Chain A
């Protein structure tokens, strides 16, 4: 049993790579998508809105199939990991864009006005004044999303990414110890979620202590 568990745990790094890889892609790519969505340029804004709706309305599993079996069959050969990272990364990006949009709306208009009245250049207003405040407000929602993503990364097992759920499925088929193995899988997911939730609370509390009104 210990040997089985040892084998199972080898799926953990891949789950973490998938989760944090997709999160990183999403956190970064969400910024331009959010900016496009907020753009005063009507066409750009509508395109971004359409992209967000389209990506959010299709289940992650279907996206992975679309990327891996659709694009992957001929147009763009890619490994299961790359396909899963692109698919989950894109889904994360549009969700981040929506989280950022909500945070932007929560920022007091006086922050924009003060930075304009001071004559700060546009990049500084965005990067030094508004950006950090958006990040701060977004943090709890991003952490919640990250935990969701950790669990959703299990869909990547369907296209053969050797992550935790994939290992569990494989080992249970080999050993017929489904109950024990999937209980262990569940516990491992919990063990990975807790530090994320904890880190988010610590960071949030620290920021709150400093800047709360």
Chain B
């Protein structure tokens, strides 16, 4: 089910006053963020700055301590006061790609991509498999359909994971450091798939250390540090002319590598 192409001016993702603590340690200190349909947002920043936690709060793999997350009209309040049903409705619209791929090792590639289509969207096995094959072809892995994930390289596994998430026709895709577990060459094939997705108009939030991707592919870059968004703006501007000292320090450190 895709949304009609009427101009929906409300942001697809709206995060308001989001706070998250692990015990006494506050990792997100009041985040406000709106993402429009079709936007590609890159989140960069040092480790431990809260990027991944923010991303994981958006699809509620992590509950938040205060504030609200709204995705495609489904709002979730703090601390799992929400029911399983609301979480399912929210996640229904959100695809997620993990740093460690997280394919299901006991299912072959086709089944990895088809299973949730049947269970979540109620597609028939034949419909699901057909859609899976389309997507596997799109990520260049149709020939791996009958293999088990362990027989695929890291780059291939990540492309399969992308196909698996896309198979549910999400309105937004979240990427949590999708290339960090890959060597640079394999990372490139994953980035190529992401680039193509971006060109196709998919709304994306990408936590990444790939500065080229952030600069060239995304429309907007957020720099996070110590649980806050310290700087954001058009990609090129933020990347080439950061305004805050902390962002400048981070970017120059990354560049100098």
Spell out A's residues near B (CB within 8 Å). Answer: 108, 110-111, 113-122, 124, 128-129, 132-133, 136, 210-213
Q: Which residue of chain B has the shortest Cβ distance to A135 in the bound complex? A: B106
Tell whether A114 pairs with B91 under 8 Å between CB atoms, given A119-B168, A120-B115, A213-B150: no
- Give chain B residues whose Cβ lies under 8 Å from the Cβ of A111: 102, 104
Q: Which residue of chain B has the shortest Cβ distance to A118 in the bound complex? A: B116
Contact, CB under 8 Å: A119 / B116: yes
- Give chain B residues whose Cβ lies under 8 Å from the Cβ of A132: 106
Check B94 for interface membership: any CB of A closer than 8 A.
yes
Most chain A beta-carbon neighbours within 10 Å: one of B98, B104, B120: B104
- Give chain B residues whose Cβ lies under 8 Å from the Cβ of A122: 84
- 8 nearest interchain CB pairs? A114-B102, A110-B102, A117-B96, A118-B116, A119-B91, A211-B105, A119-B120, A124-B119
Interface size bracket, B side:
20 to 34
Q: Which residue of chain A has the shortest Cβ distance to B60 in the bound complex? A: A116
Q: Mark B166-206, 1 if CB is under 8 A from A, else 0.
A: 00100000000000000000000000000000000000000
Q: Which residues of B, 88-120, contact A by the 8 Å Cβ criterion?
A: 88, 91-92, 94-96, 98, 100-106, 115-116, 119-120
CB B230 to nearest CB in A, in angstroms, measures 28
A114 to B149: give the CA distance in the assembly, Å: 14
Contact, CB under 8 Å: B115 / A108: no
A132 to B104: give the CA distance in the assembly, Å: 10
Check B213 for interface membership: any CB of A closer than 8 A.
no
Contact residues of B: prevailing secondary structure: mixed
CB B198 to nearest CB in A, in angstroms, measures 20
Q: Choose among B92, B98, B116, B149 the residue that contacts A113 (Cβ–Cβ < 8 A).
A: B98
Contact, CB under 8 Å: A136 / B106: yes
Check B33 for interface membership: any CB of A closer than 8 A.
no
CB B176 to nearest CB in A, in angstroms, measures 10
Check B59 for interface membership: any CB of A closer than 8 A.
yes
Q: Which residues of B, 50-105, contact A by the 8 Å Cβ criterion?
A: 59, 61, 84, 87-88, 91-92, 94-96, 98, 100-105
A122 to B104: give the CA distance in the assembly, Å: 16
Contact, CB under 8 Å: B59 / A117: yes
Contact, CB under 8 Å: B105 / A213: yes
Contact, CB under 8 Å: B91 / A210: no
A128 to B94: give the CA distance in the assembly, Å: 21
Tell whether A129 pairs with B91 under 8 Å between CB atoms, given A117-B59, A212-B150: no
Contact, CB under 8 Å: B115 / A114: no
Contact, CB under 8 Å: A210 / B120: no
Check B164 for interface membership: any CB of A closer than 8 A.
yes
Q: Choose among A117, A128, A210 the residue that contacts B148 (Cβ–Cβ < 8 A).
A: A210
Q: Mark B141-159, 1 if CB is under 8 A from A, else 0.
A: 0000000111000000000
Contact, CB under 8 Å: B164 / A118: yes
Contact, CB under 8 Å: A129 / B104: yes
A210 to B87: give the CA distance in the assembly, Å: 34
CB A130 to nearest CB in B, in angstroms, measures 10
Contact, CB under 8 Å: A108 / B150: no
Q: Which residue of chain B has the shortest Cβ distance to A116 in the bound complex? A: B61
Contact, CB under 8 Å: A119 / B92: yes
Tell whether A117 pairs with B91 under 8 Å between CB atoms, given A122-B84, A128-B115, A211-B148: yes
A5 to B68: give the CA distance in the assembly, Å: 76
Tell whether A118 pairs with B106 under 8 Å between CB atoms, given A113-B98, A128-B115, A212-B150: no
- Give chain B residues whose Cβ lies under 8 Å from the Cβ of A120: 115-116, 119-120
- Give chain B residues whose Cβ lies under 8 Å from the Cβ of A121: 88, 119-120
A119 to B54: give the CA distance in the assembly, Å: 19
A212 to B152: give the CA distance in the assembly, Å: 11
CB A65 to nearest CB in B, in angstroms, measures 42
- Give chain B residues whose Cβ lies under 8 Å from the Cβ of A114: 96, 98, 102-104, 161
CB A59 to nearest CB in B, in angstroms, measures 37
CB A101 to nearest CB in B, in angstroms, measures 19
Q: Which residue of chain A has the shortest Cβ distance to B56 in the bound complex? A: A113
Contact, CB under 8 Å: A108 / B164: no
Q: Choose among B101, B105, B148, B168 the residue that contacts A118 (Cβ–Cβ < 8 A).
A: B168
A129 to B100: give the CA distance in the assembly, Å: 17
